[in-house]
Structure 1
Amino acid sequence: MEIQNPLQSATQKQKILIEIAWETCNQVGGIYTVIRTKVPSMVEKWGDDYFLLGPYFPQTASAEFEPIHDLDDSVLGKTVQKMRSMGYAVHYGYWLVTGKPRIVLFDFWSIYNNINALKAGLWERHQVSTLNTEELVSHVIAFGEMVRVFLTELAKEQQNKIDIVAHFHEWMAASAIPDLRKDQIKVATVFTTHATMLGRYLAGNVPNFYDKIDTFDWLKEARHYGIEAQATLERLAALQAHVTTTVSDVTAKECEFLLGKVPDLILPNGLNITRFSAMHEHQNLHTKYKDRINEFVMGHFFQSQPFNLEKTLYFFTSGRYEYSNKGYDLTLEALARLNWKMKQAKIDKTVVMFFITKQPYHSIDPEVLHSRAVMDEIRETCNSIEKQVGEQLFKASASSSDLQMPDLNNFVDEYWRLRLRRTIQTWKNNKRPKVVTHLLKQNDGITDFVQKSNLMNNPEDKVKIVYHPDFIVSTNPLFGLDYGQFVRGCNLGVFPSYYEPWGYTPLECIARGVPTITSDLSGFGDYMMQIMRDYEHWGVMVVNRKTQDFYKAAEQLSEMLLKFVKQSLRERITQRNRVESISDTFDWSNLRTYYDTSHDLALKRRK
C-alpha cells in the first residue's frame, strides 16, 4: 500500500525531509540507535519524501545497505546522477532497517586528495582551525563537503518546486551548515546536538562541572583539550542552523553556555516499543532469560559459593567506560554500603551486580571459561542419569505390585555415579569467584574500587560483583544472550549518571519491563521528573545529583537498592507490570511530534 504524504495537497509544494548523520548505516554509538529506531515513524509520516545521508564504510554497508543499480528519475536519483557525473563516489540504495528508507552514502575518500584545500577554505571563510587535529576531523570535513554539494545540487534542481528540510545530527554531520547559509542555498536546516564536545570533556575532568558551566571560556577550554576544530564546527552549526535543538534540558544548559545559543526546541529520544497482547508474555520472557543468567551464575559462583537462586536478584549497569560520567563510581560506593546494610539486617538474599562495559582485554579468563565448561559437563551427566532413571523407573513401576516409590539410587549404574562424582570433585574448590570475567590489559576504576573496599566476592558478601568488560552479544560464550535478552532477565537497571545528555540504557529497561534507576543529571531522568509526578510508582527511581554531594547521593542510592531488595516477589512482579505499561510513552510514534515541530519551524524561518 502506498503511503500518502499528509503534508502534501493540491495547493502545497511537495516537502522532503533529509536526515544527515555520521552514524547513518554506521553503528558507532548512541546516535545510531536514535536514527535507526526513529526511521519507521518517519517513513510512516513522510513516505518516499524521507531519506538519509551518511558516510560510506564498506564493512558496515555490506551488512545494512542494499544498492539501487538502476537510477530512477526521482528527486534523489537525479541528484545522485549529477554528483557521479561530477566525479564523486556516491552510493544510492536502501537502508535495511525497519521502514527500509532510501539512503545516500558518500565515499569521502574519493575527494580526500583535496582535504588540505577544504581545510584552508574553512579557515578563510569561517576561521575553523584544523591544525594538528585527529584524523576523524579530516574525514568529517571531506564528508561534509560531499553533503554540501549534494544539497546544493538538489536545491538548484528543485528550487521553487520542493521545500527541503535537512536535519543534521551532531558536529560530525554538520560541517556543511555554515556554507549552506553563506551561499543562501534554499534548504531549511535543523541542527541537533546530542551531547556537546566540550561538555563531555569538562564533565569528566572538572568537579561540580554544572555549577561552573557559566564561567568557562569555550575557546580556551577547547584548545586546552585539543578539540578546537570539533568545538568550533559544533558552535558554528548551532549558530548558523535555522533551528537549533538538543535532547534534554540538561544539554540545553550546555548549548547556552558552551555553544552560545539557547536551543529553540528540546527533542527527547524514543525507541520502537514492542508491546505484548497479554501482560504475562513479558513476565514469561523475564523468567526465560533469567534462567539463562542463572546458568552463568551457577557456573561462576557455585564452584565455591552456592546460594539460593530463588532468593537472588540481578542488578546491572552498562554503557561506555566513563567511570565518573556514567556513575560507575557512585554505583560501587552504594553497593559497598548495600552489602554492609544487608549483612547488618541479616537479609537472606543475594544481589549479583553486573558491570557491562567495554575495556581493553587479552581474552576471556580461562578459569571462568573452564568453570562454565565443567558445569555444562555436570549438566550433560545429570541429563544422562535422568534419562536412565526415567526408563528404569517406568519399567519398575509398571511391573511392580508394590505401591511404594522405588529407591532411585538402584536405577543409576556405577559408571554414571562415578562420572558424576568425579566431575563434581574436579569442579568444586575453595577459591573466591572472579570479579572480572576477562583478563584486562590494565586495572581501572572498577577493579581499584572493589579491591580497596574488599567487595571481592567473599563468602560472607551479600553483594557479588561480575565485571564483564565487553558488550554482550548472542555469540558470547558466557551468557549466550543478546543485550536485550540479558536486560529482560535482570531485575533492576542502575544508571545514576553524572553526565548523560539523554540516556538510552534506562529507557531500554522500561521498554523491556525492567525497573530502573537514573539521575536528575541525565536527560532521561530530568524528562521523567517533568512528565510524571509519581515516577517512582511506575518503577523509575531518580537519584538527586544536582543538589547533593557524592556521598549523600551514594547513600540515597544505597537506600533505593535496599528498598528494592526488601520487596516481595509479588511486589516486584507488580512493579514490572507498571513499568511495561508506561513504555508506550517513549515510543517514537508519540515523540516524533517534537521533530515535526522543528521541521515546520525551520521551513518558516527559511522563508
Structure 2
Amino acid sequence: MEIEKLFPDYIFESSWEVCNKVGGIYAVLSTRAKTLQDRLHDRLVFIGPDCWKETERPYFQEDDNLFREWQLAASKQGLKIRVGRWTVPGEPIAVLVDFNQYFSKKNEIYGQLWNDFQVDSLHAYGDYDEASMFSYAAALVVGSFYDFYLDAKKKVVYHGNEWMTGLGLLYVQKHYPQIATIFTTHATSIGRSIAGNNKPLYDYLFAYNGDQMAEELNMQSKHSIEKQTAHHVDCFTTVSDITARECLELLDKPVDVVLPNGFEDDFVPRGAAFTRKRKWARKRLLDVANALLGTDLGDETLLISTSGRYEFRNKGVDVYIEAMNRLLRDKNLDKNVVAFVKVPGWVGEPRKDLQDRLASGKKFDTPLEVPSVTHWLHDMSHDNVLSMLKHLDMQNRKEDRVKLIFIPCYLTGNDGILNLSYYDVILGNDLCIYPSYYEPWGYTPLESVAFKVPCVTTDLAGFGLWANSEIGHYGEIGDGVKVIHRTDYNFSEVADNIKDTVSKFSHFTVAQVKKSRDNASKLSKKALWSHFIKYYEDAYDIALRKAEERKLAK
C-alpha cells in the first residue's frame, strides 16, 4: 500500500528574483505560483528583496491590511518589510524585505555561520554580501511569521532558490528545526564559472574537484555556502539530470529530487488577441529595424532572436553570431533575415536618433551610425557582442541578406525603443535560437514554444534533453524544437547546424510553418506545471518527513 505523501500547510519560498525580473528563476516562480496558490489559498508566501527603494515596484502591489497584526509586530522587531501581492497569475502573497540594516553586523553573522556550518565567507566579494544579507533578512521574516501565527502542529516548508538563499536556509535549519528546508540550485556557481572561463566542463567533469576549482577561480565563498547548504538542508534539489551530475561531482552531494521547470500558459494570449499581439510585435520589430538600418524590410522577413542572461559563451551568444555570419554567405537562404540579440548589457540610454526616426513615422534610406544597436552602452568598446560583430566585419550593409541587431536592455515595456514586454516581443519571432553551452534547464526555449515559436536548443540544456525524450528522437525544426548535439569542442559544427536550420526554415511552406508552430505549442503543453508539480510534492514530502523525525527525536 502506497503511503500518502505529506504536503505542507504553509510554504515560504525565497529568491532574489521574487517580484524582481532579472532572470529565468523569475519565470520559474511566477508561473508556478498559481498552481500552488490554488492549493494553499494564501498559505504560500514568497519573500524577495526590496530593491526598489522609493521607486515604483512594477510587479508588486502593496497591501497594508494583509497580516496587519503581524506587520505591526514585525516592525517592532526591527524588520523593514512590505507585504502585498505579486502581480502574476494567482496573485500570491509576497513579502519584500529591506536588508541594508544588516550590513553593519555582517562580520558577526559570517562568524556565526563559520562556527555553525563551516561556511567560508572570508573571500567574499561582489554580490556575495548583498545576497547573504538579503538571505539573512528573509530567514528573520520566516521566523517572525512562524512565531506569530504558527506552531509545531503545522507542516511548514522553507524553500530557497540558488546559493543566494543559502545563509537563510542554514539559519532556519538551526533556529527553527521544526521547519522543513528545501534548497534548489538552478546552476552550480562553480560549474557556471568553469564554463564561463572557457574551460571544458563536460569531458572533464569526473576529474574536477569543486573545492579546488573554487580556489582556482576565486569562488571560495559562493561555492562554500552552496555546498554546505546542499549538505545540511532536508531536501536538496536541482532542475535537470545534467545539473544533478554536476552537483554530485562538484558539491559532493547527490540531489534528492530533480525539479524540472514548467510553464503556465495563462501568460499566452488566446485566439484573436494572440493574432493581434503577434502582428503588432512583428510591426514594431520591423519598424525598429528599418529605422535603424535605413531599409524597407516587409512582413515576409524572417525574424529570429536569441535572449537570456548576458553570459556570452554559456548561453551560446557567440555561436549564434557566428552562425548568422555564416548565414550571410549561404546561397540557399530564401528570405531576408533580421537576427536580434536580446540580452541585457551595461545599457546607458535609448538612442535619441532612433527614437526621433521612429516618432517621425517616415521611411529612411540611410542607416544610422552604428546600425547594430538600439541603446547606447556605457562601454561600447568592451562589449562582447559589438566586439564580435566588429571582428567578423558584420556591419549590416544594405546588400546583406542577414542583419544583426543588439537590444541590450531588459524588455519591461518601457525601454524607450521597443516599449514591449519580453513575452509580447517573443510573439513576433519566427524562430528563436538558444545554442547554450551551459544551461541547467533552459527557460527561454520553453517560453518560446509556449508562444508557438519554433526554437533551436542543444543537448547540453536540460530542456533540450527533455524535448528529445518527449519527441522520441533528436528534435528537428519540423517537430517545433531542433536539438543540436553540442560538446566541449564542436563550436564550428554547431554554428553550421544553426545556419542550415535557419536556411531550411526559410524554405518552409505556409503549411510547414504552421505544423512546426503547432508542434512547438503541443510540446509546451507537456511542460505545464500541472504535469511537473508532482516532483515538488516529492520534495515537500522528503523534507517534511525529515523535520518530523527531528521533532520525534527531541
TM-score, normalisation: structure 1: 0.80
**Post-superposition CA distance 1:429-465 (Å, at most 9, x none):** 4889812233442233322333333332233322111
Post-superposition shift, 1:146?
A: 3.9
Q: Which residue of 2 aligns with 1:292?
A: 284
Q: Secondary structure at the match of 1:541?
A: strand
Query: Which of 295, 317, 328 is the equivalent residue of 1:328?
Result: 317
Quick one: percent identity of the two aligned structures? Answer: 29
Cα offset for 1:243?
A: 0.9
Q: Structure 1: how far apart are the matches of 2:269 and 2:425?
A: 22
Paired residue secondary structure (2:46): strand
Does the CA-based 8 Å contact 2:334-2:506 persist in structure 1? no
- Kindly name which structure, 1 or 2, has the bigger radius of gyration based on alpha carbons: 1
User: Match for residue 346 of structure 2?
Assistant: 360
Q: Distance in 2 between matches of 1:104 and 1:552?
A: 47
Aligned partners of 1:353 and 1:463 also within 8 Å: yes
Contact 2:66 2:84 survives alignment (8 Å): no
1:41 matched to 2:31: no
CA distance in 2, matches of 1:54, 1:278: 31
| Matching residue of 2:459 | 520
Count of aligned positions: 538
CA spacing shift, 1:451–1:93, aligned 2, 3 Å = closer
Structure 2 vs 1, CA of residues 199 and 460 (structure 1 numbering), >3 Å: closer, same or farther?
Answer: same
Is residue 28–residue 261 contact of structure 2 (8 Å, CA) maintained in 1?
yes
Pair 1:483 & 2:413 matched: no
Q: CA deviation at 1:193?
A: 0.5
The Cα offsets for residues 250-308 of structure 1, whole Å up to 9 and x where unpaired, read as: 2112211111111111111122213889767634543342233232233233x3x545x
Indicate if the aligned counterparts of 1:152 and 1:185 stay in contact, CA closer than 8 A. no
Q: 2:380 aligns with which of 431, 434, 442?
A: 442
Paired residue secondary structure (1:601): helix
2:439: which partner in 1?
Answer: 500
Instruction: Please name the residue that 1:20 is paired with.
Output: 14
After superposition, the C-alpha distances for 1:347-379 in whole angstroms (9 at most, x for unaligned) are 5521111111222344444544454345x146x
TM-aligned CA distance change 1:455 to 1:160, over 3 Å: closer
Contact 1:273/1:586, CA 8 A, preserved across alignment: no
| Unaligned ranges ≥5, structure 2 | 550-554
- Partner amino acid for 1:54? G
Root-mean-square deviation (CA, aligned residues, Å) is 3.0
User: Which has a greater percent of helix?
Assistant: 1
Candidates 452, 460, 483, aligned match of 2:399: 460
Matches within 5 A, 1:406-425: none
Aligned to 1:170: 162
Residue pairs, 1:4-153, within 5 angstroms: 15-57=9-51, 58-59=53-54, 62-63=57-58, 64-69=60-65, 71=67, 77=70, 83-134=74-125, 136-152=127-143
**Unaligned stretches of 5+ in structure 1?**
1-6, 379-426
| Residue 506 (structure 1) shift | 1.2
| C-alpha contact 2:339 2:404 (8 A) present in aligned 1 | yes
Query: Residues 118 and 141 of structure 1 are in contact (CA less than 8 Å); yes or no, is this contact kept in structure 2?
Result: no
Task: Pick one of 320, 325, 328 that aligns with 1:339.
Answer: 328
Q: Point out the more displaced range, 329-338 or 91-100.
A: 91-100
**Distance in 1 between residues matched to 2:27 and 2:270, nearest whole Å:** 27
Secondary structure of the structure 2 residue equivalent to 1:353:
strand
Distance 1:61 1:160, change over 3 A: farther
Measured in 2, the distance between the counterparts of 1:276 and 1:71 equals: 32
Of stretches 595-604 and 579-588 in structure 1, the one that deviates more from structure 2 is 579-588
User: In the alignment, what sits opposite 2:502?
Assistant: 561
Q: Distance in 2 between matches of 1:245 and 1:35?
A: 15
Mean CA deviation greater in 48-57 or 491-500? 48-57
Alignment-derived partner of residue 410 in structure 2: 471
- Residues 1:570 and 1:219: Cα distance change in structure 2 (over 3 Å): same
1:108–1:482 CA distance, 2 compared to 1 (3 A): closer
Displacement of 1:107: 3.0
Residues 277, 40 of structure 1: CA spacing in aligned structure 2 closer, same or farther, 3 A cutoff?
closer
- Is the Cα contact below 8 Å between 1:24 and 1:52 reproduced in 2? yes
Q: Describe the SS at the equivalent of 1:292.
A: helix
- 8 Å contact kept, 1:151–1:187: no
The equivalent residue for 1:576 is 517
| Pairwise CA distance, 1:183 | 5.2
Q: Which residue of 2 aligns with 1:204?
A: 196
Q: Helix, strand or coil: the match of 2:218?
A: coil
Matched, 1:372 2:361: no
CA distance in 1, matches of 2:95, 2:407: 37
Q: In terms of mean alpha carbon deviation, does 428-437 or 122-131 score higher?
A: 428-437
1:97 Cα shift?
A: 3.4
1:548 CA displacement: 6.0
* CA shift in 2, pair 1:478/1:21, >3 Å: closer
Q: Identify if the C-alpha distance between structure 1 residues 531 and 14 changes in structure 2 by more than 3 Å, giving closer, same or farther.
A: closer
CA contact (8 A) 1:13 1:162 kept: no
* C-alpha distance 195-279 of structure 1, shift in aligned 2 (>3 A): same
Aligned AA (1:22): W
Q: Which moved more, 1:465-474 or 1:245-254?
A: 465-474
Alpha-carbon distance change, 277 to 475 in structure 1, aligned in 2, over 3 angstroms: closer
Aligned AA for 1:26?
N
- Kindly state the Cα deviation for residue 55 of structure 1 after the two structures are TM-superposed: 3.2
Q: Is the 8 A contact 1:25 1:95 kept in 2?
A: yes
Q: C-alpha distance in 2, partners of 1:71/1:479? A: 39
User: Deviation of residue 115 (structure 1)?
Assistant: 2.2
Cα distance in structure 2, aligned partners of 1:16 and 1:361? 40
Cα distance change on mapping 1:581 and 1:22 into 2, 3 Å: same
Q: Summarize the Cα distance change of 1:360–1:509 in structure 2 as closer, same or farther, 3 Å threshold.
A: same
Asked if the contact 1:519/1:542 (under 8 Å) is kept, the reply is yes
SS of the residue 1:586 aligns to: coil
SS in 2 for 1:589: helix
Amino acid at match of 2:344: K
Distance 1:182 1:368 in 2: 56
Secondary structure class of the residue paired with 2:435: coil
